[in-house]
Structure 1
Amino acid sequence: MTEIWTDEEGASTAEYAIVTMAAVAIAGVLVAVMRSGSVQSLLQGIIEKALQTPSPGGGAPGARVGRCGGPRCRP
C-alpha cells in the first residue's frame, strides 16, 4: 500500500493539465473583458490616437514648416 502513495508516476502530466486549465480560464476572462463595450471603446481610442499622424511643425496652429521649427526661429 505504501507504493501507491510514494509513486509519483504521472504527477507531471497532472501538473501540466492543471496549468493548462488555469491558462484557459485566464484566457476566457480576458475574452470576456475584451468584449465589453467600455474596454473596446477605450482600446479603440488609444489605437486611433496612436495612429494619428502629426502635422508639420508639431501640430501647433501657424507653426512654421521648414528647417527651423523651434521657438528661436525668426520669421
Structure 2
Amino acid sequence: MTQAKPGQSIHNYGYAIDYFLVSDDGKTALWTVNAKWRRVAAIGKELGFKWGGDWIGFKDYPHLEMTGCFSFTQL
C-alpha cells in the first residue's frame, strides 16, 4: 500500500525498505504492531533510519527510510 505515485517514493531510489515480522515457525506474516515491531523500529532508528510509525497522520508501520539522503530534486 502506498500513497505515492511512481517516482515520488524514496523506495524507487533505494533509500527505504518495508518489513514485516513472521511467526516463530516462519509460515505466517505478523502485522500486529506490538513490542516486537517497535523493537525492530528502535533498532532501525539506532542505525539512523526514520520509522514510518512515528509519522503524524498517515502511519506507515512497516517503513524504514534512510535519513540525510538526497532530496527528490537531487534524485
Place the TM-score, normalised by the shorter chain, in its bin.
under 0.3
More relative contact order in 1 or in 2 (CA 8 Å, sep 6+)?
Answer: 2
From the two aligned structures, give the one with the greater strand fraction: 2
Q: Given the two structures, how large is their TM-score scaled by the length of structure 1? A: 0.26
TM-score, normalization by structure 2: 0.26
**Over alpha carbons, which structure has the higher Rg?**
1
